[in-house]
A and B are shown apart, each in its own frame.
Chain A
Amino acid sequence: MSTLAVRSAALWRVPLLRHVVLGLVGLTVMLFVLGSLSPFRDAQLATMAYLAIAAGGLTVLTGFSGQLSLGHGAFLAVGAYTTAVLLEDGDPPFPLVGVMVAAVVVTVAVGAVVGIAAARLHGPYVAGATLALAVAVPSLARYLDGLGQEQGLHVRVPDVPTWFDDTVWMITGADVDPTSYVAYLGWTALVVTYVLLANLMRSRVGRTWRALSNDDVAAEIAGVRLGRARVLAFVVSTAAAGLAGSLMAMAVRVTSPSGFSVDLSVTLLSAIVLGGLGTLSGALIGSALLTFLPQAVTSWGTSAGLSDVRAAELAPVAYGLIMIAVVLLAPAGIVGSLRRVWWRRRGIA
């Protein structure tokens, strides 16, 4: 028994195995949780899934490789519009997974071009260039006829496949309605993305990213090819954004320019700062806050006797106050601070 314990503890230290096991556990829990919740909660979880995927990608870029992107919403828009064009009549030319892959491919193509340009820039100039992108992409969508202009494009998620409905029912005893279906898709994509990102961050590539974000001159002297590493971070990050955009299109059911304002990019950035810069668990917590906090605060306000308008105004106030509190009291973010407490307990720090 004890040798088994030692051996499994040793195996646990292998990142790939650990991430895959955690991922499988995550998938199992997801199956039961989504099956037992109401369609409304499932819809919220679908929102959280796409935000978390985008925030995870942004964590790689901004938290890990040190390139501040103020324009991630633009990449979500590319993924979302690709999906919307393919799903406009609810009858995509290939299965839904193919649609999501297509969204990722198109976004990566755009991301690579932007990444090559951004790799030549430093610090605030990267932020400026990406901010310009966040302003330009929605305006482009307004301008082009095929993209539905201001009204945007309707997105029809194809019917839930019978095999999927039956399988989920066999396991959990719950029917899959269209709202929950998007949540299942979103969380599966989230788990897969996070396993891949976690491995990447623990690999050689991840170490070069960390090196260049700490000190790019030292990293270059140590043999890291800066440009290539930066572009790679951009590509990985935009791949996640493309997938997130694709899921966003399906969860929101419409893709229109006003859904991708600069607000979205800044909100994503605030999520990873709030959760803890540079960690995937931080990105996850940040996106959970973004999803659940406004609705929870608003319903709390209404039940406390505020008018609907006042209660609606409460949500941004609460979010702002939490943001200020985190920056002042826990500058490493929620996960960063918890981790520090944990280390101190174990006498590491």
Chain B
Amino acid sequence: MRRYRRLGAVLLVAALATSACGRDPDKRDSDKKAGDTTGVTDTSIKVGGTFPLTGVAAPGYSEIPKGIKAYFDYVNAQGGVHGRKIQWTVKDDGYNPTQTSAVTNELVLKDKVFAMLGSLGTPTHEAVVDFLNDNKVPDIFVSSGSVAWGDDPDKYPWTFGWQTDYESEGKVIGQYIADNMPDAKIGLFLQDDDFGASGEAGLRKYVDKQIVEVQKYTPGGTDVTPQVAALKASGADLVVGFNVPSYTALTQLVSLKVGYKPQWFYSNVGSDPTLVGALLANFSKGAVSNGASLLDGVMSTAYLPGVDQPDNPWVTLYQKVWDANGEGGPLTNYLVYGMSEAYTFVQALQAAGQDLTREGLVDALASDGGDFKGPTYGPFRYSDDSHLGTSGFQVVKLAGGATQPLTDVLTTDIGDADIEKYDGEPATPPSNGIPK
């Protein structure tokens, strides 16, 4: 009995001791003065991101954070940005929104990162976008083409997109088809979510009357025979696919099997020849070994130079960065993507100046981001009214694992914006490889 009495006394003392401390009325407002410098010291900046490092989405995507790390290491080796070294932390969410939420809590609440960078995926990032904006954490360059990352800066003032959005891509593809293949009967092969829906909305602005069949798939299933058979039966001779790489491989395999040979036009996301080639070899259990060349003649769009252009000054730079700071292995388009995001992030840090705050970074992106010159073919759309990423596309044709441009660089925007030829000169990287 005495034991319990002692426990009671301890609890009582603890209660008295804690409630004796006065409530500080200013506590909640103290962060708001003079800007938030969480995660920033005179010598370091903590930056974090969430990616699928394990699980089905990991192949390909898990290389993006490695690219980001290699470029940051390269910058740090030359003294960092304004004397600050960038500390990059990546957390695995396995492409599961529940995990994204848990590891984002860890990055923001425990590791106290200054900003999130490049966090990947539409459904995964949906889980944390409210949390990041409520906590006023810069949510920079979400690795996904959903228009949700930037079409409404009033709703999500702290979130910025980076890559081209799916709706604009649909418009560019639609206009190309309307101009160059006006007699084509179009079948659509769409992922049954925001990705496919945005692409379809863009396409229908130009080729609504040419579309003869729409087939959708749910990510997770591996049998696309019914969809391909329906496309074949409809007589479509041009199939536009807004799908992820594994479904490019699956549709190619099934159409080989059923003898369906339309012109294929895949969105940028689903058209990486190296990854699709490897997937084809894997899915066909080795029966298809020349996977990359199976994609010869397939059309797509590009907004960033790829490893098939080793003479491009950006790719040369990235090769140098990867050789010096990478983990070995060849340079891939996913590494290029990560390094390009990191390059734009360093541009934003430079623009935010010596006195780095969370507010300062976001303001600098909104005011100066539209003028950033970088590896992307077109300019960024960053302004007070839009946080959407780059908008410069080139329609391309794949041949021998490389891309051949079919058009000039075209820029557009979501909604009714026209598609225009981009007049700007392609930018070249500064000699030391670090933006000023």
**A156 CB contacts on chain B under 8 angstroms:** 130
Provide the bound-state CA to CA distance between A178 and B21, in Å. 22
Is residue B373 contacting chain A, with contact meaning CB distance below 8 A? no
List A19-68 residues whose CB lies under 8 Å from chain B.
Answer: 28, 32, 35, 38-40, 43-44, 47
**B11 CB contacts on chain A under 8 angstroms:** 28
A38 B18 Cβ-Cβ under 8 A: no
Nearest chain B CB to A179 CB, angstrom units: 7
Nearest chain B CB to A169 CB, angstrom units: 6
Is residue A216 contacting chain B, with contact meaning CB distance below 8 A? no
Is residue B60 contacting chain A, with contact meaning CB distance below 8 A? no
Is residue A312 contacting chain B, with contact meaning CB distance below 8 A? yes
Residues of A within 8 A of B (CB-CB), count:
51
**A259 CB contacts on chain B under 8 angstroms:** 96-98, 127
Is residue A220 contacting chain B, with contact meaning CB distance below 8 A? no
A142 B19 Cβ-Cβ under 8 A: no
Provide the bound-state CA to CA distance between A261 and B56, in Å. 13
Known contacts: A5-B1, A172-B18, A254-B97. The answer to whether A40 contacts B218 by CB under 8 A is: no
Nearest chain B CB to A83 CB, angstrom units: 14
- Among the stretches A101-109, A123-131, A245-253, the one at the interface with B is A245-253
List B10-62 residues whose CB lies under 8 Å from chain A.
Answer: 11, 14-15, 18-19, 21, 23, 27-28, 53-54, 62
Taken residue by residue from 133 to 160, chain B's Cβ proximity to chain A (1 for < 8 Å, 0 otherwise) reads as 0100000000000000000000000000
B218 A139 Cβ-Cβ under 8 A: yes
Is residue B266 contacting chain A, with contact meaning CB distance below 8 A? no
Is residue A91 contacting chain B, with contact meaning CB distance below 8 A? no
**A263 CB contacts on chain B under 8 angstroms:** 96
List B84-128 residues whose CB lies under 8 Å from chain A.
Answer: 89-92, 95-98, 101-102, 105-106, 109-110, 122-124, 126-128
**A8 CB contacts on chain B under 8 angstroms:** 1
Nearest chain B CB to A134 CB, angstrom units: 13
Number of A-B contacts (CB under 8 A): 124
**A43 CB contacts on chain B under 8 angstroms:** 102, 105, 109
Provide the bound-state CA to CA distance between A4 and B1, in Å. 9
Provide the bound-state CA to CA distance between A44 and B110, in Å. 11
**A316 CB contacts on chain B under 8 angstroms:** 54
**A171 CB contacts on chain B under 8 angstroms:** 15, 18-19
Provide the bound-state CA to CA distance between A43 and B102, in Å. 8
Nearest CB in chain A to that of B98: its residue: A259
B19 A258 Cβ-Cβ under 8 A: no
Q: Which of B19, B105, B110, B327 contacts A307 (CB 8 A)?
A: B327
- Among the stretches A111-119, A146-154, A321-329, A330-338, the one at the interface with B is A146-154
**B95 CB contacts on chain A under 8 angstroms:** 258
B110 A38 Cβ-Cβ under 8 A: yes
Provide the bound-state CA to CA distance between A143 and B11, in Å. 53
A149 B193 Cβ-Cβ under 8 A: yes
Nearest CB in chain A to that of B18: its residue: A173
A150 B15 Cβ-Cβ under 8 A: no
Is residue A349 contacting chain B, with contact meaning CB distance below 8 A? no
Nearest CB in chain A to that of B111: its residue: A40
Nearest chain A CB to B289 CB, angstrom units: 28
Known contacts: A8-B1, A309-B62. The answer to whether A256 contacts B97 by CB under 8 A is: yes
Provide the bound-state CA to CA distance between A174 and B11, in Å. 16
B123 A252 Cβ-Cβ under 8 A: no
**A28 CB contacts on chain B under 8 angstroms:** 11
**A14 CB contacts on chain B under 8 angstroms:** none
B193 A312 Cβ-Cβ under 8 A: no
A142 B1 Cβ-Cβ under 8 A: no
Is residue A170 contacting chain B, with contact meaning CB distance below 8 A? yes
Known contacts: A150-B219, A173-B18. The answer to whether A40 contacts B109 by CB under 8 A is: yes
Q: Which of A151, A173, A178, A264 contacts B19 (CB 8 A)?
A: A173
A40 B53 Cβ-Cβ under 8 A: no
**B124 CB contacts on chain A under 8 angstroms:** 258
Taken residue by residue from 147 to 184, chain A's Cβ proximity to chain B (1 for < 8 Å, 0 otherwise) reads as 00111101010000000000001111111001100000
Is residue B194 contacting chain A, with contact meaning CB distance below 8 A? yes
**A309 CB contacts on chain B under 8 angstroms:** 53, 62, 65-66, 90, 92
A248 B193 Cβ-Cβ under 8 A: no
Taken residue by residue from 292 to 306, chain A's Cβ proximity to chain B (1 for < 8 Å, 0 otherwise) reads as 000100100000000
Q: Which of B66, B109, B193 contacts A179 (CB 8 A)?
A: B109
Is residue A1 contacting chain B, with contact meaning CB distance below 8 A? yes
Nearest chain A CB to B20 CB, angstrom units: 8
Given A174-B18, A298-B92, 10 further pairs, Cβ under 8 A: A40-B105, A40-B109, A44-B105, A156-B130, A170-B19, A171-B19, A172-B19, A259-B96, A309-B65, A316-B54
16 residue pairs A–B, Cβ–Cβ below 8 Å: A139-B218, A149-B194, A150-B122, A150-B193, A151-B122, A170-B19, A173-B23, A254-B101, A259-B96, A259-B97, A259-B127, A308-B65, A308-B89, A308-B92, A309-B62, A309-B66
Which 4 pairs of residues, A with B, have the shortest CB-CB distance?
Answer: A312-B92, A150-B193, A40-B109, A254-B127
